[in-house]
Structure 1
Amino acid sequence: MARVKFTAGRVGGFACPPERQQAFLWDEQQPGLGLRATPNGRPAFVFQAIYQGKTVRVTIGDPDAWSIAEARAKTRELQREIDEGRDPRNVKRAEIAATVAERDAKKAAKARAVTVGDVWPVYLQEGKPKRRDAWKPRYRADLEAMALPGGEKKKRGQGTTRPGPLHPLMAMRLDAITEDRLKDWFDREARASKHQAARALMMFRGFLRWCATKPEYRTLVDRDVGRAPAIVEALPQVKKRQDCLEAAQVSEWWQAVAQLPNVTASAYLRALLLTGARREEVASLRWADIDMRWRKLRLADKVDATRTIPLSDYLAELLAELPRRSEFVFASASKTGRIADARSSHERALGEAGITGLTIHGLRRSFSLLGEAAGAPAGAIAQVMGHRPSATAEGYRPRSVDALRPFLQQIETHILKLAGVEIKRADKPGKLRAVTS
């Protein structure tokens, strides 16, 4: 092998002839040190020697990164390894493996240090329920409230707010969420409110399921830890509510609601009974969703994006009489600009009417039962209410808005009759007036 004294010029100008696969230049000053070049690659310092009767070659590095003096020193180091009976290739592999292992260990330690509180904001941003593109605003707000640290001045009353039920879990590492720790957390929260703790647990289960779908968190969580028998057995029994207005109570309820000083809440509660819609569907109703000319109403829907139902006569007049304070039909001074919670008004009306145990959602059940009593088909009632289509309801077939109109008008007439409200045509064409008997 031809040897020359390595200089910066000789090293920098060395190249492989295009007709050859590789070329070598060897240093006459340091045995074993060479420069290897290929037609398409950059030259590199190499070490070559005999180990156990066979030629061994190890790449040292790029001449731009290694000076000639450094390459000579590395060559002497590698030669010592051979003299001591070690294969420098194995030594290099071991060093690389140790570096990778150290890097992986640091990465794993960093991953294990991730807490629930680190990931929770990401979950709020990227998580979503099944079959929907994003959280509903109310549920998103509840998720945020569940993890709040508390200590804020109460908006109503004296004192400060309590930490959310999920707040104690925020400081825990993801990989530390075990059955025993989750059970201890649930038992502590259940002492304050068993039902609130159960709801928080359901939300946290959703968080664990989401983590299990993400590669960066998947190995840190057990998605089924919240379903451990010890936890499930402690959950309160869920009783399906059956509250609704009886036919004999409709009159007293209607009169009490109609006399509420808050006209927006009064109209809102009656609209719930007359449509069977969910409370948020009616609360988020905008004036742009009402077609007074063709008597139609577009509601946000739980199953589909929206649904359109007929606008019955009395409800049309009820809505038309509301003042237009904002884009929302049931406007209020709340942050959202619309009615947020009418429970206090409803409780006041129930007290006046002498009715107990009727929730706002119970008005939805009342619409269904009163609709049956009015003789409307089950499929038409379900479609107006926005229930998922069911083949059990008269071989369910969707109806057009015009096909639904007589049935919804039939239900409204039945409810108004029970309420003691008589509808008469006013002098102005197309207008109605309600006469309470």
Structure 2
Amino acid sequence: MLERAACPTGKRFVLVRDADKKGLRLRVTAAGGKHWQFETRLRSGKLFTRALGEWPTISIEQARRAAHELRGMTEQGSDPREAERVKRDAAKALAAEDAARKLTVGEVWPLYLANGRPKRRDAWKPGYRADLETMASPGGAEKKRGRGLTRPGPLFPLLALPLAKVDEDSLKIWYDGEAKKGKHQAARALMMFRGFLRWCSARPEYRDLTDRDAGKAAAILEGLPGSTRRTDALEAAQVAGWWTGAEQLSNRTAGAYLRALLLTGARREELAGLTWTNIDFQWRKLTIADKVDDTRTIPLTPYLAHLLASLPRRNDFVFASTGKAGRIADARASHAKALQSAAIDGLTIHGLRRSFSLLGEAAGAPAGAIAQVMGHKPSATAEGYRPRSIDALRPFLEQIETHILALAGVKFDASKEPTPLRAVA
């Protein structure tokens, strides 16, 4: 019978209704097409029509089963379209949840680097951002110093983990493996990763996937190396030997850099990045990078001015080098030679910063002035924080410099003008 169904001449289509299933019909077009349809009125009064497929691809039995299901829904007051929408939404939500559960740390990590700035800052400090990238690097690159390829960073194994599976157990397994290579490096990587977890837990899209406290589990913390606070610093009697050792280094730039660290109390990276444009020889000021603020400006003391002006001008950096960075990168080897010549053991480069603070106190400078020159946070000052102008700081820093030079046995005429800069090709 369905084979013989045809559209009358002069009409576009005809509807052939099924006698057994109310609402089911076959739409036969003038071109010979035959398509199943179901049509009924919803309780709201709206007409509901649904295409069921083309005959004979869809048989009459299949069309009747589909029509039966649709009629059952509509007679119970349901709109099949709404039910299907709910079903689709549920399927999408389930798929989204499944995708989220498979979201890896490596997929979120670049977003953390781009947007996870620390509190009260507009962006990462360049040095810390570089450390984050190094910690998660895959390795395999040519070493900048020495031969061979770099190893993967401590955080690299975590990048493959789904974020939702980063828990106490997975972190413990990771940390124990990295600690065998180096406990302190593994501990620093853990601290960095805890910052990543805090950032993820603060974002709605990652909050339900993140175990914020996974890195604080007792099983992990008990394996961390002890935090021994360094106290190394130059004693007054050691200043002369150390100074002579630094002054006699074959690398004049390294020698000047080490002495400048002692005379300013600056952090090593703060001074290593010093450029000639940061020095104001006319008004005797020095602007350096700062860990707390972007920069800080301190007085340029007489001896330091002579010391810096005597350096050759090879490029934009004051403490220039022929390496890729164009500036001094690691002065530990030079410092070791100075220590050896002075028979001093255990003094780190950061110990020069502590030495400045202790020698400054011995010189009689106020604790607040010393802290301001060093770039300490206000809460770290002993006398209460009262920011001083450059001119107000100048006599105290000159007082410290005079005391250090006296201990070093350096005779210096502060009335002399700094040696003119000379360019070096």
- TM (norm. structure 1) is 0.80
Match in the other structure for 2:417 = 430
> 1:324 and 1:59, CA in 2 relative to 1: closer, same or farther beyond 3 A?
farther
Match in the other structure for 1:89 = 78
Matches within 5 A, 1:6-405: 48-49=40-41, 56-57=45-46, 59-60=48-49, 80-81=68-69, 84=72, 86-87=75-76, 89-390=78-379, 393-405=382-394
Structure 2 unaligned segments of length 5 or more: list them.
Answer: 1-11, 25-36, 54-59, 420-425
2 CA distance for matches of 1:169 and 1:334?
Answer: 33
2 CA distance for matches of 1:82 and 1:315?
Answer: 90
By how many angstroms is 1:213 displaced? Answer: 2.4
By how many angstroms is 1:276 displaced? Answer: 0.7
Number of residue pairs matched?
Answer: 386
> 1:82 and 1:175, CA in 2 relative to 1: closer, same or farther beyond 3 A?
closer
Q: Which moved more, 1:327-336 or 1:303-312?
A: 327-336
* Corresponding residue to 1:420 among 409, 412, 418: 409
Deviations 1:129-162 (A, max 9, x none): 2222222222222212212223444444454432
What secondary structure sits across from 2:386 in the alignment? coil
One-letter code of the match for 1:306? T
1 CA distance for matches of 2:289 and 2:337?
Answer: 28
Q: Which has the higher contact order (CA 8 A, sep 6+)?
A: 2
One-letter code of the match for 2:92? R
By how many angstroms is 1:340 displaced? Answer: 1.4
What secondary structure sits across from 2:250 in the alignment? coil
By how many angstroms is 1:431 displaced? Answer: 4.9
2 CA distance for matches of 1:392 and 1:282?
Answer: 22
> 1:331 and 1:392, CA in 2 relative to 1: closer, same or farther beyond 3 A?
closer
What secondary structure sits across from 1:288 in the alignment? helix
By how many angstroms is 1:94 displaced? Answer: 2.8
What secondary structure sits across from 1:162 in the alignment? coil
What secondary structure sits across from 1:89 in the alignment? coil
> 1:391 and 1:192, CA in 2 relative to 1: closer, same or farther beyond 3 A?
closer
Q: Judge conservation of contact 1:78–1:88 (CA < 8 Å) in 2.
A: no
By how many angstroms is 1:116 displaced? Answer: 1.3
Q: Judge conservation of contact 2:371–2:381 (CA < 8 Å) in 1.
A: no
Structure 1 unaligned segments of length 5 or more: list them.
Answer: 1-9, 11-26, 34-44, 67-72, 433-437
2 CA distance for matches of 1:133 and 1:84?
Answer: 61
- TM (norm. structure 2) is 0.82
What secondary structure sits across from 2:378 in the alignment? coil
Percent identity over the alignment is: 62
By how many angstroms is 1:202 displaced? Answer: 0.6
1 CA distance for matches of 2:294 and 2:87?
Answer: 55
> 1:58 and 1:114, CA in 2 relative to 1: closer, same or farther beyond 3 A?
farther
Q: Judge conservation of contact 1:178–1:225 (CA < 8 Å) in 2.
A: yes
